[in-house]
């Protein structure tokens, strides 16, 4: 058979293995809009100079999307591999909470505390630019994540249909890793791990418990 015969059209996208993040955003202090966190896997670095830039994709209609669009900032948290097993011992409970429920219906902060992941504030930076950054209000974070990236929106959100893409400047980075060598493999949670543990489907959606 010719090489041409080995190719065929498909509607099935490639199944990627990517890091799993949670984006923390600020509420507007009204009774109907609280700070919240979600699960986010559409995130990637896109530039390093003159500013370090990342892109993130936000699903429309969520509290995270509304908060980020309004406040234009948030903290992207790279989750550690052990976050796929909740402190209560039920696999994927934290992921299902953050990625499978809405902050409009569930008090995510209270439920995270019950699961042993009480929200906390990042420590103040030691560098001068980081001290200036502390004058701005930033949301709470989960404990013991691999990396925390403070992001600020540059320009406007880009409408891509079901999602809007945000091009973001990295204001500062904080790591819970003792390793400083970028060549070292990080102990981060991946989508492959979540699929293997039947926490998310091949479409990337949270699989509810029976």
The DSSP-derived string for 152-209 is EE-S--EE-SSEEEEEEEEEEEEE--S---TTSPP-B-BHHHHHHTTSB-TTS-B---
How are beta strands 147-153 and 163-175 bridged, if at all?
antiparallel
The backbone torsions φ and ψ at residue 168, rounded to the nearest 5 degrees and listed phi first, read -125, 140
Q: Which residues contact 66 (CB under 8 A, 6 or more apart)?
A: 33
What is the maximum alpha-carbon separation in the chain?
66
Q: Which residues pair with 37 in a beta bridge?
A: 24
Q: What is the pLDDT of residue 209?
A: 77
Q: What is the pLDDT of residue 57?
A: 98
Q: What is the pTM of this model?
A: 0.87
Q: What is the pLDDT of residue 178?
A: 60
CB 46 within 8 A of CB 53: yes
Q: What is the mean pLDDT of each run of 10 residues along the chain (210 residues)?
A: 72 90 88 78 96 97 95 96 66 90 92 93 69 74 95 98 98 77 74 92 83
Q: What is the pLDDT of residue 203?
A: 82
pLDDT digits (tens, 9 = 90+) for 145-198: 999 999 999 999 999 999 999 999 999 999 876 655 555 678 899 999 999 999
Q: What is the pLDDT of residue 49?
A: 95
d(CA 162, CA 64): 14
């Amino acid at each position: 058979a010719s090489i041409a015969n080995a190719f065929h059209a498909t509607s099935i996208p490639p199944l990627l293995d990517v890091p799993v993040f949670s984006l923390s955003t600020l509420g507007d202090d009204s009774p109907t809009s609280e700070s919240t966190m979600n699960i986010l896997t559409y995130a990637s670095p896109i530039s390093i100079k003159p500013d370090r830039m990342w892109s993130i994709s936000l699903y429309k209609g969520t509290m995270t999307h509304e908060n980020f669009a309004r406040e234009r900032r948030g903290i992207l948290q790279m989750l550690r591999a052990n976050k796929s097993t909740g402190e209560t011992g039920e696999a994927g409970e934290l992921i299902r909470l953050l990625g499978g429920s809405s902050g409009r219906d569930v008090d995510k902060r209270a439920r995270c505390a019950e699961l042993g992941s009480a929200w906390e504030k990042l420590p103040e930076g030691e560098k001068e630019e980081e001290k200036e950054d502390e004058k701005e209000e930033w949301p709470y974070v989960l404990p013991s994540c691999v990396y925390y990236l403070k992001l600020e929106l540059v320009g406007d959100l880009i409408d891509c249909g079901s999602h809007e893409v945000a091009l973001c400047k990295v204001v500062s980075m904080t790591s819970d890793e003792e390793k400083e060598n970028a060549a070292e493999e990080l102990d981060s949670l991946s989508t492959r791990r979540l699929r293997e543990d039947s926490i998310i489907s091949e479409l990337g959606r949270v699989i509810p418990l029976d």
